[in-house]
Amino acid sequence: MTQTTFTPRVFSGIKPSGGLTLGNYLGAIKRFVGMQGEMETVYCVVDMHAITVWQDPKELANATREVAAGYLAAGLDPTQSILFNQSQVSAHAELGWIFNCVARVGWMNRMTQFKDKAGSNAEKVSLGLYAYPSLMAADILLYHATHVPVGEDQKQHVELTRDIAHKFNHDFKVDFFPETTPVIDGPATRIMNLRDGTKKMSKSGESDMERINMTDDADKIAKKFKKAKTDPTPLPETYEGLNDRPEARNLVEIYAALSDMTPQAVIADYAGAGWGQFKPALADLAVAKLAPISSEMARLMDDPAEIDRILATGAEKARAIAEPILKQTYDIVGFLRS
C-alpha cells in the first residue's frame, strides 16, 4: 500500500462543564494559541462530550460560550483558527457511531479515565461516558488531524485514536485515516490540585480552594496560592531537589509555565527561598497573566450574540472539511447514498 501524506493539521477540544481552570489554560489553551500560524488549527468546544455527565441545559449553552470566550480572550484568532462547538457539526456523531463499531470493548475497558470517573458506580454512569473516547477519536480523525495538543491525562485517549485509525485502515484495506501524534510538551502538562499534589487540578474538585479558575479575581488568586499546601522546606538548589515534593514541584511548574521559563531557570532564581517569598511572587505573576484574560472574557460574555456568530462561522468552516471526509468514510464502509 502506498503511504498517503497528510497535510499537518491540529485539532483539540475542551468540555464546557464547569468553569475553566488554570490547568485548562496552561495545559491546553495557551499551547493551542501558540500553535496558531504553525499549521492549520481547529479548536472545538466539545459540548457533546460534556453531556456524558448531567448538564443543566440552561447552563450548558452558557458554559459553551464561556469556553469559547476563554479561547478568544487568551489569543485565539478566529480568522486564523477554526473555532466552533461540536454539536453544530453533526458529522462528529456520525463518524462516532462508525468508530463505536471499530473500537473493541476490551480497548474501552482499559481507559483509566473511565475507571477513575466511574469508580465503584460503573453500573450507573451513562453509556456515553464509556463510549466517549471513541467520539474523541471521531473528533480528531474527521479532520484528518495529525497533531493533538492535550494535557497528560488525555494521552491514552489519543493513543486509542491511533488504534482506531489503524484498525479501520486495516479492516477496510485503505490508507485513509492518519496516525495522530499527541503533543504533550512544556512544563504544564499536568497541573496539580493546590491542596493535594497527587491529584490533577480539575473543574469538578470538591473545594474551590483546590483550583485557580480563569475568572478568579486578584484577591482570590492570592488567597488560594497563600493557602496552597506545601512542605516546610525552602525551595531546593536544583530541579532534582523537587523529586518527591509534589506540591512544591507543582508551584514551580506553574510559575515556569506562566512566565515562559523552564522550571530549572525558576529554581535558579529562587534557590533557597522560603514559601513566604515564593508564594506572593507566584500570585503576582498569575494575576498579571490572568487578569487581562478574565476581563476580556467578561467583555466577550456581555455580547453573547457575537460569540454565537463566531461559533456559527467556525462551524461552517469545520463542516467544509468534515463533510467530505465523512462522505468518503461512508463510501469505504459501503453505506449506500444517493
Give the DSSP letter of residue 199: S
207-236 positions binding ligand AMP, by CB under 6 A = none
Amino acid at 193: N
Of residues 253 through 282, those in contact with ligand AMP by CB under 6 A are none
Of residues 128-147, which lie at the interface with ligand TRP (CB under 6 A)?
136, 139-140
Could you tell me the smallest distance in angstroms from the CB atom of residue 153 to ligand AMP? Answer: 5
Number of H helices, E strands in the chain: 14, 5
| Among 10, 14, 42, 69, interactor with ligand AMP by CB under 6 A | 14
| Residue 212 in grid coordinates | 485557580
Does the protein bind ligand TRP through residue 150 (CB under 6 A)?
yes
| Cβ-count burial 271-292 (b if 16+ within 10 Å, e if not) | eeeebeebbebbbebbbebbee
Convert residues 14-33 into a mask of x (bound to ligand TRP by CB under 6 A) and - (unbound). Answer: -x------------------
200 is catalytic: yes
Partner that binds at residue 11, options ligand TRP, ligand AMP, none, CB closer than 5 to 8 Å by kind: ligand TRP
Query: Running DSSP on this structure, what letter comes out for residue 152?
Result: G
- The x, y and z cell numbers of residue 104, run together, are 473493541
If one asks whether residue 148 binds ligand TRP (CB under 6 A), the answer comes out as yes
201 binds, among ligand AMP, ligand TRP, none (CB under 5 to 8 A by kind): ligand AMP
Q: How far apart are CA 114 and CA 331, in angstroms?
A: 32
Active-site entry in 30, 200, 279, 289: 200
User: Cα–Cα distance between 328 and 331 in angstroms, integer?
Assistant: 5
Across the chain, the runs of DSSP E, i.e. the strands, are 9-14, 40-45, 81-85, 147-149, 181-183
Whole-number Å distance between alpha carbons of 310 and 306? 6
Q: At closest approach, how far in Å is the CB of 46 from ligand AMP? A: 7
Give the residue from 170, 171, 94, 180 showing the smallest Cα distance to 144: 180
Region near ligand AMP per CB under 6 A, out of 19-27, 77-85, 238-246, 251-259:
19-27
Nearer to ligand AMP, 27 or 236 (CB): 27
Which of the listed partners (ligand TRP, ligand AMP, none) does 27 bind, with a CB threshold of 5 to 8 Å by partner kind?
A: ligand AMP
The only residue of 167, 190, 229, 317 in contact with ligand AMP, by rule CB under 6 A: 190
Examine residue 154 and tell whether it contacts ligand TRP (CB under 6 A). Answer: yes
Binding of residue 250 to ligand TRP (CB under 6 A): no
The residue within the footprint of ligand AMP, chosen from 11, 24, 224, 283 (CB under 6 A), is: 24
Cell of 94: 456520525
DSSP states of 233-289 as a string? S---SSGGGGTT-HHHHHHHHHHHHHHT--HHHHHHHHTT--HHHHHHHHHHHHHHH
Partners of residue 36 on adjacent β-strands? 39
Q: Is 11 in the site for ligand TRP (CB under 6 A)?
A: yes
**Which one from 155, 203, 220, 317 is the annotated catalytic residue?**
203
Do the Cβ atoms of 126 and 52 come closer than 8 Å?
yes
Q: Is 154 in the site for ligand AMP (CB under 6 A)?
A: yes
Active site residue 117: yes
The residues that touch ligand TRP, with contacts defined as CB under 6 A, are 11-13, 15, 46, 49, 136, 139-140, 148, 150, 154, 157
The residues that touch ligand AMP, with contacts defined as CB under 6 A, are 14-15, 23-24, 27-28, 150-151, 153-154, 188-191, 200-203
